[in-house]
A = this chain, B = another copy of it.
Amino acid sequence: MARKPSGGLGRGLSALMADVSQEPEAAPDRPRRADQMVPVERIFPNPDQPRRHFTKERLDDLANSIREKGVIQPLILRKNPRDDDTYEIVAGERRWRAAQQAQLHEVPAIIREYNDTEALEVAIIENIQRADLNAIEEAQGYRDLMNRFGHTQEKVSEALGKSRSHIANLLRLLNLPDEVQDMVIDGALTAGHARALVTAEDPIGLGKQIAAKGLSVRDAERLAKGPKPASKSAKSSTKPEKDADTRALEGDLSAAMGMKVTIDHKPGGESGVVTIRYADLDQLDDICGKLSV
């Protein structure tokens, strides 16, 4: 399944990164085509381009915006290898679709000469860089870069300027049931909440609970640790109940001293701590007197 790095690794992820960044930079051996307006009907999506989740609402918004102001950011196109009169979308399919919906006749475009692998990588990278990407989409982008081009998490992290663990954590979100992933997509859960659920026993149930109650990520992490610890109170696991003998002894000593005396035995062993609270220096003298005998 994974196509081994031909153009991908040969050119390096970071080089392709630069092609996509806000101000893509043409490689020296890649003559720059002048920006131009291209008729919409001469543009076609690349069949190999990663399928993206196009929310209808977002597409509508974008179409409305384009209807009023045109396409602000140009598409990145390459000549169609099979038809010199048409172009293939490398980046900007969403804009192209919205432009059609807005019934524009032409869109601004940058023409580049990419081979198949480069085009695919550029498309994926450009998609990852979108500001309005949700965590699932971002994770899918990382997965695509790794699965299709054999990049390691480390390589992707370096190219995109994120930590390797950040990449790993986002990827793990893709292990969640679709239902939970959808909650991330539509904003009911954040990436942090969802991440806590990756190793949980019932991610769907917990996800719904977290969303319904508006719990924080810390709460989610605690809930996700499992029903077993949750069925015991924190108190009972760290402070075992004092037995009756210890409590009686505390009472006797408190009475004898006229001060509050507590005995805190460490669980499992024989050691512990006796604590005496004094109210004034006379009482402290009293304690010292008795302990010095």
Contacts and interface: CB of A to CB of B under 8 A. Distances in A.
A272 B110 CA distance: 77
Interface in A257-293: 257, 261, 263, 270-281, 284, 287-288, 290-293
Contacts of A35: 70, 108
Number of copies: 2
A72 interface: yes
Main secondary structure of the interface of A (DSSP, over half): mixed
A22 interface: yes
Given A270-B280, A278-B274, A279-B271, A68 B290 contact: no
Contacts of A263: 284
Interface of A: 22-26, 32, 34-35, 62, 64-66, 68-70, 72-74, 108, 110, 131, 249, 252-253, 256-257, 261, 263, 270-281, 284, 287-288, 290-293
A31 B66 CA distance: 15
B72 A288 contact: no
Nearest to A263: B284
A25 B275 contact: no
